[in-house]
Amino acid sequence: APRHVVFSGIQPTGVPHLGNYLGALRQWVKQQNEAPLEATLLYSIVDLHAITVRQDASQLRQWRKEMLASLLAVGLDPKRSIIFCQSAVAAHSELMWILSCQASMGYLSRMTQWKSKLALPENTTPLDSSSKAKLKLGLFSYPVLQAADILVHRASHVPVGADQGQHLEFARECANGFNHNFGPVLIPPETILSSAKRVMSLTRPHLKMSKSHEDPKSRILITDSRDQIAKKVNSALTDTIPGVTYDPVNRPGVSNLVDILFHVDESAAPNSEALALDLKDLSMRALKEKVSDAVDRQLSVVRERYEEAMQEGNAQYLADIGEDGARRASASAEATMKLVRDAVGF
């Protein structure tokens, strides 16, 4: 059978929001449940990536725990999937160093994410030395760590958002470069682009829903209560045009609500356009009520499982799952690292 190893990661930055859930986590669970029995599934809490920006130690520890509980709550099954913290598997860092010794600075400096972190327009004057001093090497070499994450498990399937396509291409480049120099050890991954639509901010619907937006009303967390969901959806920015239509350019707020409803509701509508037609005579208030109800229904089980996992008495259970995941992920990584070290001359 062809190799079927899935790897994906998410940063430990607190409880995930509805965008993370619909755009990533729900796909992971679907993949897990539909994967052939022989497939290996690895889902990592990528805490090494998280420290490319300054993190408070106890906050980071808490966020890792919350993310682990969240992954279980959305339906990842630790018996089926290997769920682990990246920092618990040292081979990720080891392979990163080896790949770094081959990685092109020019290629890395052309990555859009690096350029956007610098807030650089395409043709800018060179940075002065004090701005340069503030830039961190870890942020620059972040894609090399991402490549190591994938390649150390010789993943064949990597579900990522469309904005990560470039990084996956870089991982392929790293694999091919290594293989060219040292022999056929690493496996260039195939892409899987997540088909899920972007969920937009409730309060500023021209922006994507994100944890980095200041206004907590801009996003629904997967652990929000029925009441919190209703409050946030009710305060979502819409417009004064009567009725419901699907028009993301001219009616971004209304269209975002329709999209959310389409993704969480098991309605028969084949797409958001068709759903909007079904709802065309609804008032904003009625639409919002429908959206709140559907989101609440979708998240109620997630919320319950999260509360349970985070209970004081379950601390050991969570720790055990983390340890078991780390042990299995280490075995997967070590199988690759034996070949890598041998090829390099260690």
- The one-character DSSP state at 208 is B
Chain residue whose CB lies nearest ligand ADP: 23
Q: What's the number of CA atoms in the CB half-sphere (13 Å) around residue 73?
A: 27
- Annotated catalytic residue 208: yes
Q: What residues from 191 to 210 belong to the interface with ligand ADP (CB under 6 A)?
A: 198-199, 208-210
Q: How far apart are CA 42 and CA 258, in angstroms?
A: 33
Q: Which of 65, 208, 232, 290 is catalytic?
A: 208
Which residue, 50 or 91, is less far from ligand ADP as judged by CB? Answer: 50
Which residue, 212 or 240, is less far from ligand ADP as judged by CB? Answer: 212
Q: What residues from 162 to 191 belong to the interface with ligand ADP (CB under 6 A)?
A: none
Q: Which of 115, 117, 136, 197 is catalytic?
A: 117
- Annotated catalytic residue 79: no
Nearest to 86 by CA among 51, 136, 35, 40: 51
Which residue, 114 or 182, is less far from ligand ADP as judged by CB? Answer: 114
Which residue, 67 or 340, is less far from ligand ADP as judged by CB? Answer: 67
The answer to whether the Cα torsion of 141, 209, 44, 265 is positive or negative is negative
The DSSP annotation for 24-43 comes to IIHHHHHHHHHS-TT-EEEE
Instruction: Map residues 21-60 to x or -, x wherever contact with ligand ADP holds by CB under 6 A.
Output: -xxx------------------------------------
Decide if 158 contacts 6 (C-beta within 8 A): yes
Contacts of 28 (CB under 8 A, 6+ apart): 8, 43, 74, 76, 81, 159
Burial 67-95 (b: 16+ CB within 10 A, else e): bbbbbbbbbbebeebbbbbbbbbebbebb
Q: Which of 115, 136, 197, 211 is catalytic?
A: 211
As measured in angstroms, the least distance from the Cβ of 300 to ligand ADP is 21
- Annotated catalytic residue 132: no
Catalytic positions, written as ranges: 117, 208, 211
Which residues bind to ligand ADP, rule: CB under 6 A? 10-11, 19-20, 22-24, 161, 198-199, 208-212
